[in-house]
Structure 1
């Protein structure tokens, strides 16, 4: 489905809401989020003759999006659900993800939800990210979420989330040709919630020529206004170099403290082959329910998130060798 078809589908659905809701109990919830920031990027290696990248200042989208959720009751305890969400790159005035600029859809999924859990098909957030990476992915800028080995969303996927069973839950996903070397990808997670703490374990099987599997564990704990999160990931594979090398690890520790409308954030991570030592500091000011202002400092030892001005994945010089970013912006939800 191309970009124009997706937009036309969303517009048609919007116009059809009143009639459908009245006749068939089909409910739509439309939403959007505009997120834009100004940034100053200072790579460690600024020698273009050595493959470096110049310092620059400019605007950067922070994952703006627009979409809708829909639900329709099929029977008692069973509901048909769907979601379509498009990325809006405000800085580049385009329908695209600011990081993966070839992606013009964030979420496009349909499924059923009931007493036995939730079954989904399409392009979706993956269970491993939700259980293992999300507990430390709490920042507001473009630079949030890079300190992990897994992917956020994948197309051509089927996932199942179990209901809560006295604090215990699990999830499974199969993703066609989204592993390594064109193989299918399989994920499995389990979580246990007790009091204000959630502990999760997960497996992300990339398969491929090197039989690559990522295993992870995370913990999230809330103490009043203080939130603490941590995760540990490790690759098991036949590879002895590059991405997915056997024994490579990613470790993150995050803390966030909310005081009234103010939230202070700090994360320290060590991600082999992708950023190495990462320090991320942030401040959010929640002006009202819809509007938030943020300011952040991001520092990576080797190149992971830092890229050229308003560009994304795959365009940064391999020898940029990390650097630091100062960024400040706003988020408006509607």
Structure 2
């Protein structure tokens, strides 16, 4: 269902080749002078060591990538009112030494690939990117550092062949929408619409993710974020409207409800979430501690539990999955995993 660009870089050397190519070219472009294209090269290396106990399968421990990525942003000022931009970002699976996503394997070798324009009219982009519904509804509770982050939602993260629009701010109000070709249910097109209102330290958002398909599936969402100094709070609720009634993922009336809290003291952050996701994990607990050691470097320790098997705790350790997606657990009971790791961003 996903359409991605093809890369043939060798394992491990692919990341090095990308860095060697983009680094000098980025510097060269910035030296071209005013009015030229400006490049910004970036990366984030994310690795964890986990001890997992997937119910119905052997326990294991080992390294797993936590969504490392490398890429660049390019910007060109067309005039004082309009800016053109492009972004390319590839996943780096550090545990397996490959350019691939740690969950989707070689099925996702491009995380972001988009071009667009921004100005007083807002932002419009085409390509593969984070989707508006995820940004408004799921992102507020997706704040952990490990591979296990972000599973307690019904929506998708990124889609290809998408046209996306984000409005400017209208006295606290904003809206966004997207059309994605063939990325809905049963190969149908996908439509998303969101609206947000921000007042001080509080943001409220509503949204719909229309997958269509044979079951006319829609995901309705509501989220809230609020900060009080060092304390951050967030919550979301998603509701599935569908013709499906199969006691399985995507049934009509299924609900995913999440609450999240974080407290920061200097370099230390303590955070946790509780979620209940019908037909996808059921009761879920995720607790974490993060230490911001220095600029760009964060160490973390987390614990994740789900009542029923989904994809958050794979059946096998990363090096045993080869180039295939990590896949779902065996599906006959709860999963537990402890992980420690680091993020290094530049």
Superimposed CA distance per residue, residues 10-45 of structure 1 (whole angstroms, 9 cap, x where no aligned partner): 86554443443315421111110111110000123x
**Alignment deviations for residues 77-136 of structure 1 (CA, whole Å, 9 cap, x no partner):** 100011100000000111011011121110000000100000000000000000000000
Equivalence for 1:103? 108
User: What is the aligned counterpart of 1:251 among 257, 263, 267?
Assistant: 257
Aligned position for 1:4: 8
TM-score under structure 1 normalisation?
A: 0.94
Following superposition, the deviation at residue 175 of structure 1 comes to 0.3
Give the Å deviation of 1:313.
4.4
1:170: which partner in 2? 175
Q: State yes or no: 1:20 paired with 2:26.
A: no
Secondary structure, aligned partner of 2:197: strand
Match of 1:329 in 2: 341
| Structure 2 counterpart of 1:40, from 51, 71, 80 | 51
Shift of 1:264: 0.2
Residue 247 (structure 1) shift: 0.0
The normalised TM-score by structure 2 is: 0.91
* Residue correspondences, number: 327
Q: Partner residue of 2:158?
A: 153
Q: Give me the whole-angstrom Cα distance separating, in 1, the residues matched to 2:51 and 2:326.
A: 20
Which residue, 280, 291, 309 being the options, matches 1:285?
291
Cα distance in structure 2, aligned partners of 1:10 and 1:155: 24
Partner of 1:316: 328
Pairing 1:265–2:271 present: yes
1:212 counterpart = 2:217: yes
Q: Which residue number corresponds to residue 49 of structure 1?
A: none
What is the root-mean-square deviation in Å for CA atoms of aligned residues? 1.7
**Is this contact kept in 2: 1:198–1:219, CA < 8 A?**
yes
Does the Cα contact within 8 Å between 1:43 and 1:320 map onto a contact in 2? Answer: no
Question: Contact 1:306–1:322 at 8 Å: present in 2 too?
Answer: no
* 1:77–1:114 Cα contact (<8 Å) kept: yes
Alignment of 1:55 with 2:44, yes or no, is no
Tell me how far apart the structure 1 counterparts of residues 115 and 100 of structure 2 sit (CA, whole Å).
Answer: 21
Q: What residue ranges of structure 2 are gaps of 5+ in the alignment?
A: none
What's the offset of the Cα at 1:316? Answer: 3.4
What are the Cα deviations for residues 45-74 of structure 1, in whole angstroms up to 9, with x where unaligned?
xxxxxxx21100000111111001110001
Q: Which moved more, 1:102-111 or 1:304-313?
A: 304-313
